[in-house]
Structure 1
C-alpha cells in the first residue's frame, strides 16, 4: 500500500502575529504545521506529518508576538512575512 504524499508546506492558520504572555525560563512548544487548534502552540495535530513542534524557552516575562502564518524566518517570532502571503 502506497503512503499518501504529504505537503512539506505548513498550513497558514492566521495572516497576523499572535500576542501571547510568556514567562521567563518556561518552555513552550510552538506549532510548525499550522494545524493546531490552540495556535500558536502545538496540540499534537502534526501527528502523521513530517512536522514537529518547536520547543523554545522564554527569555523574558511579558507579551511576545509569535508567528501565525508559520512562514517566519525567525521562528517562533513574527518577522512580518505574513504581509507577503
Structure 2
C-alpha cells in the first residue's frame, strides 16, 4: 500500500467558511498544502472533500498521519 508524503510536521492553519466545500490533499504531494492541486495523479490517492461546519481557523494535518482527517490530531509528534 502506498504511503503519503509527509508535507510538513506541523498543522497548517487555514480560514474556512461555513458551508464551503474544500478538497484536502491526502497524498502529501500538493504544492497548495493542505489542499489538493491534482498532484495525486498517477497514485492511489484521491483528495478528501469536506464541508466546513463553521467559519474560522482550522488546523489541518500536514503530516498526513492524522486519525481524524483533515484535522490535526497531534500525530505529527510521532513522525520521524
Bin the TM-score by the shorter chain: over 0.9
- Flag structure 1 segments of 5+ consecutive residues without an equivalent: 1-6
Cα distance in 2 for partners of 1:42, 1:83 equals 23
Instruction: Specify the SS of the correspondent of 2:15.
Output: strand
TM-score by length of 2: 0.97
Cα distance in 2 for partners of 1:35, 1:76 equals 15
TM-score by length of 1: 0.91
Which entry has the higher C-alpha Rg, 1 or 2?
A: 1
Q: Give the alignment's Cα RMSD to 1 decimal.
A: 0.7
| Partner in structure 1 of residue 31 of structure 2 | 37
Q: Please list every run of at least 4 consecutive aligned residues from structure 1 whose deviation after the TM superposition is greater than 3 angstroms.
A: none
- Flag structure 2 segments of 5+ consecutive residues without an equivalent: none
Count of equivalent residues: 79
Cα distance in 1 for partners of 2:13, 2:67 equals 18
